[in-house]
Amino acid sequence: MSLFDYKLSDLQEMLHKKEISVNDLLDEAYNRISEVDGDVKAFITLNEETARARAKELDELRGTPEGRGLLFGMPIGVKDNIVTKGLRTTAASQILDNLTDPLYDATVVQKLDAAEAINVGKLNMDEFAMGSSNENSSYYATRNPWNTDYVPGGSSGGSAAAVAAGEVPFSLGSDTGGSIRQPAAYCGVVGLKPTYGRVSRFGLIAFASSLDQIGPLTRTVEDNAYILETIAGLDQMDSTSADIEVPKYTEALTGDVKGLKIAVPKEYLAEGVSDEVKEAVQKALKVYEDMGATWDEVTLPHSKYALSTYYLLSSSEASANLARFDGVRYGRRSPNAENMLDMFKLSRSEGFGDEVKRRIMLGTFALSSGYYDAYYKKAQQARTLIKKDFDDVLADYDVIIGPTTPTPAFKVGEKTEDPLTMYANDILTIPVNLAGVPGISVPCGFSGEGLPIGLQIIGKHFDEATVYRAAHAYEQATDFHTQKPSLGGAK
């Protein structure tokens, strides 16, 4: 049995009773990484020397009043688009391959440090968070621990795979159109996208600023609640962070959902959703019925426009955000340039991968004179209608429930030649980002091939507490979260 099979609260108790040490937890992490990461490829950069030094400091504080951080001694992995002072941060792109010594920590990293967590290393991802399979990393594709012939999802595929493989007990990812929830579903872990503005984006390398959110990936809902409690809150460095009190989310985990009103959008169980996924969701709804909750079928009529709306808006924002990578200030500068214009062109063409270039071109086109009203403005209008659909439904219901993804994970290489088919994997998660509401994915079953299936629970703005309550009750009534891949032998 791995130490990481214990809940965060149990590990904390063991630490303070001096039954284990912080260094024991790091041994567990780095030994497991050494054992399986050659197959999983979840990490880009390890932080072992600094982590060991920090563990030594924290071990001396065990059982003292000073050693009472909410995440005291907990090893955690951080997605590689979240800036870490003095630790290489690449966003899995060659254009940032030489960014080995960033000058500051992202706000979430500062909060983890204040809570006395330890950063084990930086996790693989789709380049600049653009992708649904982790195959767009400029380094190597992360593999699904349940079956390494399959993708782990994306763009936070490294974050999900590392938790599923037992390399770390928790990780941070970012979610622009499903990039936490989709890989959480594919890898059989718990992943939350908070309400837009709940967690500071300062230090998150921007993809689409009106959609990006940082969130936690964990083995259990309770652990997830602890992590969000740590990283959430107002930040003066991020004008989009909300000045709304952060509750103690763990207090919402009562296991009681009697009287909970659930909405099930018919669009989320329509054509394109596999029979296995539909069946798993229907069984989950029966579990909720048995616990005293009620559900009704509803409609989110503008969801059919979500995919095209998202790719127009996110690509437009990416076109603007990625303009800063020009070979002048930091990052890759082409050695082949003969003049200034060549430097701009070659640094970007050599540094960016195909998917990033594709989205920059789409976004630049959508923002160009003569096409702005036809594409970008219309997409913003559609986004307003999509948000209104969610507001209308959530005015009458506590949560919305459906599948996280239309199918379980697909094979590595299966969809790389067809970007439009790849984009469709996010069709059930994208509307949540457009509406800005919170959503979580929890394991709810397995496919015939033994691959995990995820249940998505969506809540009202800044009501993560109810989302956690619903997710925790379901988790406690089932055993899917206790099952683990056999990669590298049972752990």
Which tokens sit at 9? Answer: 């609260």
As a residue count, the chain comes to 491
Which distant-in-sequence residues (6+ apart) come within 8 Å of 268 by Cβ?
Answer: 300, 303, 402, 403, 428, 456
Phi, psi angles (nearest 5°) of residue 359: -75, -35
Kindly write down the DSSP assignment for every residue of 287-298, as one continuous string.
HHHHTT-EEEEE
Which distant-in-sequence residues (6+ apart) come within 8 Å of 491 by Cβ?
Answer: 1, 2, 4, 5, 32, 166, 484
**What is the CATH architecture assignment of 3-267+277-300+387-482?**
Alpha-Beta Complex (3.90)
Q: Collapse the DSSP code of 76 into the 3-class scheme (helix H, G, I; strand E, B; otherwise coil) and give the result.
A: strand
Q: Are 186 and 210 in contact (CB under 8 A)?
A: no
Domain edges within the chain? 3-267+277-300+387-482
Which tokens sit at 104? Answer: 């500051």
- Give the separation between CA 380 and CA 382, rounded to whole angstroms: 5
pLDDT of the chain along its 491 residues, tens only? 899 999 999 999 999 999 999 999 999 999 999 999 999 999 999 999 999 999 999 999 998 887 788 999 999 999 999 999 999 999 999 999 999 999 999 999 999 999 999 999 999 999 999 999 999 999 999 999 999 999 999 999 999 999 999 999 999 999 999 999 999 999 999 999 999 999 999 999 999 999 999 999 999 999 999 999 999 999 999 999 999 999 999 999 999 999 999 999 999 999 899 999 999 999 999 999 999 999 999 999 999 999 999 999 999 999 999 999 999 988 899 999 999 999 999 999 999 999 999 999 999 999 998 899 999 999 999 999 999 999 999 999 999 999 999 999 999 999 877 777 788 789 999 999 999 999 999 999 999 999 999 999 999 999 999 999 999 999 999 999 999 998 854 33
Give the H or E element holding residue 452. Answer: strand 452-458
Q: What does the radius of gyration of the chain's CA atoms come to, in whole angstroms?
A: 21
Q: Active-site positions?
A: 79, 155, 179
Whose tokens are 């960016």? That residue is 352
C-alpha 300: how far from chain center: 24
* Local structure of residue 373 (DSSP, 8 states): I
For the whole model, what pTM was predicted? 0.96
